[in-house]
Structure 1
Amino acid sequence: MTSPHTSMPPAVAAGKRSPRRVAVLGASGFVGGAVVKALADQGDLAVPIRAPRLSVQSSDVSLEVAARDDVVALLAAELSGCDAVVNAAGVPDASSTDALDLLAANAVLVGMCAKACSVAGVPRFVQVSSAVVQGNAPTLDESDAVLAFSAYSKSKIAGEVVASLHNPGELVIYRPPSVHAPDRRITGALARIARSPLASVVQPVDSPTPQALLDNVAAAVAYLTREEAPVGVVIHPWEGLTTHSLLTYLGARRIRVLPRAVARTVISAVRFAGHGYAPLGPHARRLEMLWFGQAQAPSALTAAGWTPPVGPEGWSALGQAVRRPSGAARPRLSPQAKVGRRARDESSVVYAVTVPSVAYSFLRGQLAYLRGRGWAVTLACSPGRGLDAVREREGVEVVELATARDIDVARDLRALVQWILLLRRVRPMVLNASTPKAALLALLAGRLTRVPVRIYLVRGLRLESESGLRRKVLTMMERISSWSATHVVAVSPSLSDELCKLRLTAGHVPIVIASGSSNGVDCERVARGVAAVDRQAQRRSLGVADDAYVVAFVGRVRRDKGVHELCAAMRHPELSTAVLVTQGDVEDDQAEAALSTLGERHIHLGWRDDIYEILALADVLALPTHREGFPNVVLEAAAASLPVVTTTATGAIDSVQDGVTGLVVPTGDAEALAQALSRLALDPTARRRMGAQAEVRARQEFSGEVIWEALEDLYCQAGATRPRGVTPALHEAVDR
């Protein structure tokens, strides 16, 4: 540790009074440097002291301080003769998760400074702590009440405790709030938010928010080194900012007011994710401060007669500084010169789905149909298997936008920003978003960027198979998606009823297109594909006898698709010779284990580009699902004249007419499922009759053209302009 040169303050040079010697640790830092200047401005002599670099091996702060008496002695020698000491050193990164590094800089160093002050006989020690120690307390005050919510806040709390233990003199624990200056990273981040569509608050918009200008913080610290200044815990006085005025000062042109419930849900989700990914913890608190603010009790500084030297004009100047570099005037661009902006195409639509398999299976032909009708169509989806096929088949612009299916706050926030940028570039008239995560992020971005028509197409409810906290989070996600939309479309009548029952629609009345389904089925395509398969040859290639009773299952192999009940049913004595053939990705180890109990009577085909082969070799399709929106595979089976056994689950119950196009059994009832499959196994005539009826229903009620035309009508009724186009040769577009 060395003591650099000191400078004589102007007030002293003029002979006005004898200066007080004030040692400043961290004098080269953000706050410390400003404190040195403030001390000089008030006529005191700042003595910069270089803080020792520390590394600790344990979280026992007192033990670590006690082990460094030699360093404390050296520090005491440098502090000798000073009237006060300010410790502005430490690690300021609130998002850091390195607990030991934080404790070393923000607690052990504090204890050493306090101890050195006591040894050197320095009468006053000012520790620059942080308001973060009180977390989300309703009101910041000068009590000993603290709330640790992150590694950073814990280190600051430990610093306050150890300072009290080792300094018996005049101890000042100063707790400044968020400190702002033009080159401050957090200030720049807030300014970017203020100028973006994310600028938002909740009611009441005049909630106080604890923010401070760097010059005011430095002046407060300098004042606290005086003999007449208060001691103990001291908070920074409120500088008069509200959640709304802070964003306004930093450049917000339009500030949205979010529902409190939505804001609380987002914060809870970020905080929950922070348990698994620690760096997210502080971000939850920052969002809370941005939206809700925090009240402050009166400060001891105010009671002592001190007021911040820089008033509202300082915040105005700060806003101007962060909005343009070096005071340069902002150039005005002509509309032609604005980069990345274009007039909104009244006949443009962006589709949002989470994974390629959804686009591959549930948007087949729909995108090509709209493109052929003259619409400008963009599909945004995570990269993955099948996406290139969709791009080639549909002939539309495809944007790869990575979105996690499960809750992953860091990736989700990244995806939200990407969605905002995409929608600002494309400027669509219509946004059609489906699947939970893509819908949540795309619709929220759509609302923020003011896309006129935002359709939440609900394909199903994941929350139906969840419980506890996860169900609550999924419920709030659904409500946020509906709140962000202008229209809610349910793919089946029973799903519409469930949405209303669970109050998930944010006041919207769900729309059901035709008899249901999101895309319908091209019966001719399926019939041609199945007819092209040699049934007997396909069976022989799999080792299945020509006269075997084959049950088909198509879909993701997981528990909530009813795989466990299906395996139990297949073990029923009346189905002892039946063969189960499954097709789809295995997503559940337990489900895979259950299938293995069938031995050679189970054949798994894995992922295939189509389902023609499995439909051709099967006698019946089983879909014992626990939840659906509207199962498209049932329509494809119907187009192949195949009867279906499904359940009373949401969505599934709408896909089969019980006793007419197939059989419906109670959800989760393996015995009833076994009886239904056995009934069809023993009655080939009933199988053929139901299959024929299913095909008639699919052609009459669920053709793709019916669904696509109804969706196009919805887009136009909602405000889009129908393009002047020519209907393409649909089958050519779909079969490519």
Structure 2
Amino acid sequence: MADLRVLVVTEEGDHPETGNLIKLHQAGVKIKVLGWEDSPYVSWLADAGVPFEPLRLAGKRDREGARLIARHLDEYRPQILHLLRKRTIFNGLAAAKGRPVKIVLYRGIVGNVSFLNPIDWISFLNPRVDRIVCVAEAVRQEFLHLGFAGLGIPPEKLVTIHKGHDLDWYRDPPADLGQLGIPSSSFVVICVVNVRPRKGVPLFIDACASLPADLGMRFVLVGRGMDSPELLKRVARSPHPDRFHVLGFRNDAARLIAASDVSVLASLRREGLPRSIIESMSYRTTPVVSDAGGSPELVENERSGLVVPAGDAGALADAIMRLARDRDWCRALGENARERIARHFNVDMAARKTLELYRDLTA
């Protein structure tokens, strides 16, 4: 393993990505990382002794950035170039032209790749790509069903590796919801997501608005776009708008999750492996998710949370109401959810599978 060199190009990074790179470094892989200099995860890499150099790409076609990646390829001479974000994929593939390096890409959501889109032929459909790491099996299956007339992605190019986590990353103390005007006896349902049409936030609001007032529920909405005029109007039209607490973007989202009873993600389509739900499960906050994309791989229905049909506001409302009416069951599901992350979505498993991928490419 001492001669296996990997150049990783990312942007800001996140907990599981950085933890995975550190585990690979500790396993003997020679990893060099290029990414944002102001990322909070740079200190993680430095503390673990992982070589890092700053790179901030201006867009999908950043000539200077591509030249910098090419220089690292020539000087470091890695066997593998691992590209982890959209901008890094386009510029990394450009930099790798004419260079004998295996190329691994990361894909974190379902869909939005087409054989009819020329842009995709210089990214995920590029013949230079050796492997695509899919964050969920649903992502891999979507790739397998692409194409027509015998044209498709070879199955051996596609590998499912769930992002791995460590429960020690999730130790923030619960927030004091009393400061938001939420009584301590309330059953708190939180939705943490940056608003996009596919995330189903209007459906979540409608489902909550239909729930009876006598169950003592409060609904907390956190994320960029949650406080948009459109969503605020939707909340105001509900029968009990005072039960909603629309917070918008917050730096303490993890603490708010930890203080809640239920965490909901009502995605309509194209979901990967949702980070907010993983965080919720790690904090013992019971997840309720739609069956879109990879969410059912994460949450086992009625064992570590509840899974409802995507786009069904009635089913979502019923799931929340079941948990509110049986709080002991809700807490038990939350405990199971935390255990599921520890057993099946841990960083050691992710690193082991990534190492197997590297070995396969360099065999």
TM-score w.r.t. the length of structure 1 is 0.43
Work out the CA distance in 2 between the residues paired with 1:615 and 1:487: 35
Provide structure 1 residue ranges, at least 5 long, that are not aligned to the other structure.
1-344, 721-736
| Aligned amino acid, residue 400 of structure 1 | L
Partner of 1:506: 153
Q: What are the equivalent positions in structure 2 for 1:227-306 lying under 5 Å apart?
A: none
Answer yes or no: is 1:401 the counterpart of 2:50: no
- State whether residues 555 and 584 of structure 1, in contact with CA within 8 Å, keep that contact through their aligned partners in structure 2: yes
The question of whether the paired residues in 2 share the 8 Å contact of 1:391 and 1:398 is answered with: no
Q: Deviations over 1:611-632 (max 9, x none)?
A: 5412221101111123222223
2:221 to 553, 557, 582: 582
Is the Cα contact below 8 Å between 1:521 and 1:632 reproduced in 2? Answer: no
Q: 2:133 aligns with which of 459, 479, 489?
A: 489
Amino acid at match of 2:186: A
Which residue identity does 2:7 align to in structure 1?
A: V
SS at match of 1:506: coil
Residues 507 and 717 of structure 1: is their aligned pair in 2 closer, same or farther, counting only changes over 3 Å?
A: closer
- Asked whether 1:391 is paired with 2:45, we answer no
The CA distance in 2 between the partners of 1:559 and 1:448, in whole Å, is: 40
Q: Does residue 472 in structure 1 map to residue 114 in structure 2?
A: no
TM-superposed deviation, 1:713: 2.5
The correspondence for 1:541, drawn from 175, 179, 191, is 179
Q: Distance in 2 between matches of 1:442 and 1:592?
A: 39
Letter in 2 for 1:480: L
1:496 offset after TM fit, Å? 1.1
Conservation of the 8 A alpha-carbon contact between 1:444 and 1:484: no
Rounded to whole Å, the distance in 2 between the matches of 1:542 and 1:627 is 33
Map Cα deviations across residues 582-634 of structure 1 (whole Å, 9 max, x no partner).
Answer: 343339957654675475512326242x6541222110111112322222332
The one of 446, 449, 452 equivalent to 2:96 is 446
Change (3 A) 1:377 1:554: farther
Contact 1:584 1:605 in 2 (8 A): yes
Corresponding residue to 2:202 among 537, 552, 564: 564
| Shift of residue 551, structure 1, vs aligned partner | 1.4
Superposed, 1:268-667 pairs within 5 Å as 346-353=3-10, 355-356=11-12, 359-381=13-35, 387-395=38-46, 396=50, 397-404=52-59, 411-413=61-63, 415-451=65-101, 453-461=102-110, 463=112, 472=117, 475-476=120-121, 479-481=124-126, 483-503=127-147, 506-509=153-156, 510-513=158-161, 517-518=162-163, 520-526=164-170, 529-530=171-172, 533=173, 535=174, 538-574=176-212, 578-586=217-225, 589=228, 592-593=231-232, 597=236, 600=242, 601-604=244-247, 606-608=249-251, 611-625=253-267, 626-667=269-310
Q: Residue 389 of structure 1 aligns to a residue in which SS?
A: coil
SS at match of 2:39: helix
The 10-residue stretch of structure 1 (484-493 or 570-579) with the greater mean CA deviation from structure 2: 570-579
CA distance in 2, matches of 1:373, 1:589: 46
Alpha-carbon distance in structure 2 between the residues aligned to 1:660 and 1:436: 35
The structural deviation recorded for 1:413 is 5.0
Residue-pair matches, total: 348
User: Matches of 1:696 and 1:540 in 2, distance apart?
Assistant: 29
In structure 2, what is the Cα distance between the partners aligned to 1:552 and 1:400?
Answer: 36
Alpha-carbon deviation of 1:473? 5.3
How many angstroms apart in 2 are the aligned matches of 1:573 and 1:713? 48
Once the two structures are TM-superposed, the CA of residue 437 in structure 1 deviates from its matched residue by 3.5
Change (3 A) 1:448 1:413: same
Map of 2:361 onto structure 1: 718
Helix, strand or coil at the partner of 2:34 = strand
Distance, in Å, in 2 between the alignment partners of 1:416 and 1:361 is 26
Distance in 2 (alpha carbons) for counterparts of 1:682 and 1:412: 54
2:33 touches 2:53 (CA, 8 Å); kept in 1?
Answer: yes
- Contact 2:15–2:165 at 8 Å: present in 1 too? no
Letter aligned with residue 112 of structure 2: L
CA distance in 2, matches of 1:559, 1:512: 26
Q: Structure 1, residues 638-694: CA drift from partner, whole Å, max 9, x if none? A: 222222111111112211111211111222222222222222122212212211222
Over alpha carbons, which structure has the higher Rg? 1
* Cα distance in 1, alignment partners of residues 265 and 318 from structure 2: 14
**Residue type at the aligned position of 2:6:** V
Judge conservation of contact 2:226–2:248 (CA < 8 Å) in 1: no
Residue identity (%)? 22
Q: CA separation in 2, counterparts of 1:556 and 1:575?
A: 27
In the alignment, the residues of structure 1 paired with residue 323 and residue 346 of structure 2 have an alpha-carbon distance, to the nearest angstrom, of 27
Higher relative contact order (CA 8 A, sep 6+): 2
How far did residue 444 of structure 1 move? 4.3
Q: After superposition, where does 1:147-186 map in structure 2 within 5 Å?
A: none
* Distance of 1:508 and 1:443 partners within structure 2: 21
AA matched with 1:346:
D
Aligned CA RMSD, in angstroms, stands at 3.1
1:691 partner SS:
helix
Change (3 A) 1:525 1:382: closer
Q: Distance in 2 between matches of 1:592 and 1:477?
A: 37
2:336 counterpart of 1:699: no
Letter in 1 for 2:257: L
What is the DSSP-based 3-state SS (H/G/I as helix, E as strand, rest coil) of the residue aligned with 2:112?
Answer: helix
CA 1:487/1:682 → structure 2, altered by over 3 Å: closer, same or farther?
same
TM-score (norm 2): 0.83
Return the letter of the residue paired with 1:380: L
In the TM superposition, residue 501 of structure 1 has moved relative to its aligned partner by 0.7
Matched, 1:686 2:294: no
Aligned pairs for 1:74-93 within 5 A: none
Q: Distance in 2 between matches of 1:414 and 1:630?
A: 33
**Gap regions ≥5 residues in structure 2:** none
